């Protein structure tokens, strides 16, 4: 299949150049421990020299088990310097969608020995403090429910709207389907859409086209055995068909780094909050665009970037 003109042009581009010494200040908000893609996205971000990861917050219960899994991962990468924040454990209003594994996560881990890094409370306030510290020069990446982001906005809209960029793995736009991160806390998603921040949504339309093959897994495992073993543990416990995890969250993280990996369209969206069968769907509505959605992805270029980052 021939690539579109858009991707033929974008494939000639290199990663966006930054001024000497300049980095992308990044905050990651994650529900690590359920799907393996959170751990892979965080690992990708850690391995990219363009990122200055200023904080990682967890969202959704069981919050402490997610914190412990994140501590383990940061230990493995030697990055206990990155502060961890406990976050919102429930939907901001009653009526969120089903959760995966409240009692036990798919690949739970515990820190090995004493954890030397900081673990702080109140993720929404942590996000706001980081925005102030970097005078708005901060990118927020949410790869779970948008609860922490929504509470941050509701707590201090003026500060939250100073964000340089907000990217979320959220939504599905080419068919009527409620994507998990939105369905988990639909009211949080609606708050973000009404905030005026104009997020970039990396949805199932593009992420489902990005599986991590067995061959690509082997390359990563050869360089980082602990990460390959984590992926294999997840695949076995989740009984994942075909043994190829989908890189939902890593693609969202890669879009922070290089938006030319995807084609975007401006859309006017709302979250369905009432429907018995449609609650949590992002739907098109009239009015001015309030978000950008990814409608196409250069799969080959993204997978090459991801695998090379974690295997070299």
**pLDDT, tens only, 48-60:** 999 999 999 999 9
How far apart are the C-alpha atoms of 138 and 128, rounded to whole Å?
Answer: 10
- pLDDT tops 70 at residue 167: yes
Q: Is residue 7 part of a domain?
A: no
- Lowest-confidence range among 91-95, 187-191, 274-278? 91-95
State percent of the chain over pLDDT 90.
81
pLDDT band, residue 239 (cuts 50/70/90):
confident
Q: Is residue 4 part of a domain?
A: no
The pLDDT value given to residue 231: 95
Q: Is residue 12 part of a domain?
A: no
Q: What is the mean pLDDT of residues 192-211?
A: 97
Give pTM, 2 decimals. 0.92
- Lowest-confidence range among 102-106, 144-148, 278-282, 299-303? 102-106
Q: Is residue 293 part of a domain?
A: yes
**Residue 101: which residues within 8 A CB-CB, separation 6 or more?**
33, 34
Q: Is residue 3 part of a domain?
A: no
Q: Between the CA of residue 255 and those of 36, 145, 283, 296, what are the distances in Å? A: 19, 18, 22, 12
- HEC-encoded secondary structure of 36-60: CHHHHHHHHHHHCCCEEEEEEEECC
**pLDDT, tens only, 104-149:** 589 999 999 999 999 999 999 999 999 999 999 999 999 999 999 9
CATH of the domain at 149: 3.90.245.10
Q: Which domain holds residue 111?
A: 22-311
Domain count across the chain: 1
Q: Is residue 83 part of a domain?
A: yes
Q: Is residue 14 part of a domain?
A: no
Residue 196: both structure tokens together: 């005026």
A 10 A CB-CB count for 93 gives 15
């Amino acid at each position: 299949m021939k690539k579109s003109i858009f991707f033929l042009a974008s494939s000639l581009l290199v990663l966006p150049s930054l001024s000497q010494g300049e980095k992308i200040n990044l905050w990651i908000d994650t529900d690590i421990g359920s799907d393996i893609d959170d751990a892979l996205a965080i690992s990708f971000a850690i391995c990219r020299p363009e990122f200055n990861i200023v904080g990682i917050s967890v969202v959704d219960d069981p919050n402490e088990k997610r914190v412990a899994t994140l501590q383990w991962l940061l230990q493995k990468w030697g990055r206990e310097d990155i502060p961890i924040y406990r976050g919102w454990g429930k939907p901001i209003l009653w009526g969120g969608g089903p959760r995966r594994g409240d009692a036990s996560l798919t690949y739970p881990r515990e820190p090995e020995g004493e954890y030397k890094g900081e673990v702080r409370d109140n993720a929404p306030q942590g996000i706001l403090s980081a925005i102030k510290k970097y005078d708005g020069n901060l990118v927020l990446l949410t790869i779970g429910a948008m609860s922490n982001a929504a509470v941050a906005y509701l707590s201090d809209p003026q500060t939250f709207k100073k964000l340089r960029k907000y990217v979320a793995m959220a939504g599905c736009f080419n068919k009527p389907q409620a994507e998990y991160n939105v369905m988990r806390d639909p009211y949080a998603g609606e708050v973000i859409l009404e905030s005026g921040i104009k997020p970039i949504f990396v949805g199932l339309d593009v992420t489902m086209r990005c599986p991590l093959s067995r061959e690509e897994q082997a390359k990563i495992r050869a360089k980082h055995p602990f990460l390959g073993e984590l992926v294999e543990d997840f695949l076995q416990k989740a009984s994942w068909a075909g043994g190829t995890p989908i890189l939902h969250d890593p693609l969202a993280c890669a879009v922070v780094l290089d938006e030319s990996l995807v084609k975007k369209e401006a859309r006017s969206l709302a979250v369905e909050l009432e429907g018995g069968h449609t609650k949590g769907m992002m739907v098109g509505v009239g009015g001015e665009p309030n978000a950008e959605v990814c409608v196409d992805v250069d799969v080959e270029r993204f997978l090459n970037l991801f695998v090379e980052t974690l295997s070299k």
